[in-house]
Structure 1
Amino acid sequence: MDSRLYLIILNLLIVCNDIQSFEDLTSRKSRKLSCMYVDMRNKTLLGYNDIMKQKAFLVLSSRKQLSKEYFDSEGITFILKDSPVNTMKFLKEHTLDLVCEVNPYFTDNTQIIWPGIHVIENMEEAWFVSRFKHPNDKFQFTLFFTHISQKSLEEQDGSQLQAFPNAEIRYVLPVFMLSTQTPHVQTRLQEDALLNCDFSIDHHADVNIVWKLLKKGGQEMKLLTYKGSEKSVVYHVKGIAMYVDEVPKGSASLVVKNVDLEKEGLYTCSVSVNSLFGDQVIHLEVVEPPIVNLNVKSLLLTEGQEQKLVCEASKYYPLDVNIEWLREGRDQTLLPTVLKNVLYSSHKHNNDGTYSLSSFFIFTASQLDNGAVLTCRVEHMSLKHPIRKSVKVRVEESPSYQEFFLGGARVSQSTTEIGVKKKECCHAENKTPRLDFEEKKETEETRSYSSFNWKTRELGSLKVKISCVL
Structure 2
Amino acid sequence: FFSLPKGPAEGPTAAPLLRRVDIALGCSYVGADVRGSLRASGGSSPEHPATLLLRGISVRDDGNLDDVTEYKVPQENPDSSSPIVFEVSAELVSIPHAESLLHADCEGEEVTCEISPYSSQWAGKGPCHTSWFVANLQLSGGISIVLVLRGPHCSSQGEKEEHDATLHPKLKIPMSKEGTLLTTVEFQSSSRNTSLRTHLGGSVTLNCRFALAPSSSLSSLEWKRQHQGSGRSLFRYQVGSTGPKAQPKVHVDVAELLGSGDASLSLEGVSVGDEGTYICLVSTPLHQAQHIIQLHVVAPPRVRVIPAVVSFERGVTTTLTCSIAGYYPLDVSVSWTQKTPEDDTEIPLSNARFSSHRQSRDGTYSITSYLSISSATARAPATYSCHVSHVALAEPISVSAHLMAPEQMGSEGLVGGFIATVIFIVVLFNVLRRRAGRSFKMLRHFPRGR
TM-score normalized by structure 2?
0.70
Amino acid at match of 1:170: L
Q: 1:70 to 1:383 in 2, by over 3 A?
A: farther
Q: 1-side partners of 2:310 and 2:414: how far apart?
A: 25
Partner of 2:86: 78
Q: 2:221, 2:263 within 8 Å by CA — same for their partners in 1?
A: no
2:184 matched to 1:190? no
Partner of 1:325: 336
Superposed displacement of residue 282, structure 1: 1.6
CA displacement 1:181-217 (0-9 Å, x = unmatched)? 1322222223222111111123275313333433423
Partner of 1:406: none
Range moving further from structure 2, 306-315 or 70-79: 70-79
Q: 2-side partners of 1:183 and 1:206: how far apart?
A: 26
Q: 1:21 to 1:102 in 2, by over 3 A?
A: farther
Q: 1-side partners of 2:75 and 2:103: how far apart?
A: 18
Q: 1:215 to 1:271 in 2, by over 3 A?
A: closer
Structure number with greater Rg is: 1
Superposed displacement of residue 355, structure 1: 0.6
CA displacement 1:140-177 (0-9 Å, x = unmatched)? 121111224477xx9xxx9xx9xx99995222222211
Q: 2-side partners of 1:338 and 1:136: how far apart?
A: 37
Superposed displacement of residue 21, structure 1: 12
CA displacement 1:299-331 (0-9 Å, x = unmatched)? 332455421111111011111111111123424
Residues 318-397 of structure 1 aligned to structure 2 (within 5 Å): 318-334=329-345, 336-365=346-375, 369-396=379-406
Q: 1:378, 1:387 within 8 Å by CA — same for their partners in 2?
A: yes
For structure 1, the residue ranges without an aligned partner over 5 or more in a row are 1-18, 113-118, 401-425, 432-470
Partner of 1:60: 54
Amino acid at match of 1:51: S
Amino acid at match of 1:380: H
Q: Per residue, is there more strand in 1 or in 2?
A: 1
Q: 1:77, 1:167 within 8 Å by CA — same for their partners in 2?
A: no
2:54 matched to 1:35? no
Q: 1:303 to 1:171 in 2, by over 3 A?
A: farther
TM-score normalized by structure 1?
0.67
Residues 280-295 of structure 1 aligned to structure 2 (within 5 Å): 280-295=291-306
Q: 1:303, 1:396 within 8 Å by CA — same for their partners in 2?
A: no
For structure 2, the residue ranges without an aligned partner over 5 or more in a row are 1-12, 58-69, 169-174, 419-450
Q: Between the two proteins, what is the percent identity of the paired residues?
A: 22
Superposed displacement of residue 399, structure 1: 11
Q: 1:427 to 1:123 in 2, by over 3 A?
A: closer
Q: 2:198, 2:296 within 8 Å by CA — same for their partners in 1?
A: yes
* TM-align CA RMSD: 3.9
Question: Which of 143, 148, 167 is the matching residue for 1:144?
Answer: 148
Q: 1:187 to 1:135 in 2, by over 3 A?
A: same
Q: 2-side partners of 1:266 and 1:204: how far apart?
A: 32
Amino acid at match of 1:129: V
Q: 2-side partners of 1:20 and 1:79: how far apart?
A: 30
Number of aligned pairs?
365
Q: 1:211, 1:225 within 8 Å by CA — same for their partners in 2?
A: yes
Q: 1:191 to 1:66 in 2, by over 3 A?
A: closer
Q: 1:255 to 1:21 in 2, by over 3 A?
A: farther
CA displacement 1:62-120 (0-9 Å, x = unmatched)? 39x7435698964212222232322314413225512221111015x2358xxxxxx99
Q: 2-side partners of 1:81 and 1:427: how far apart?
A: 87
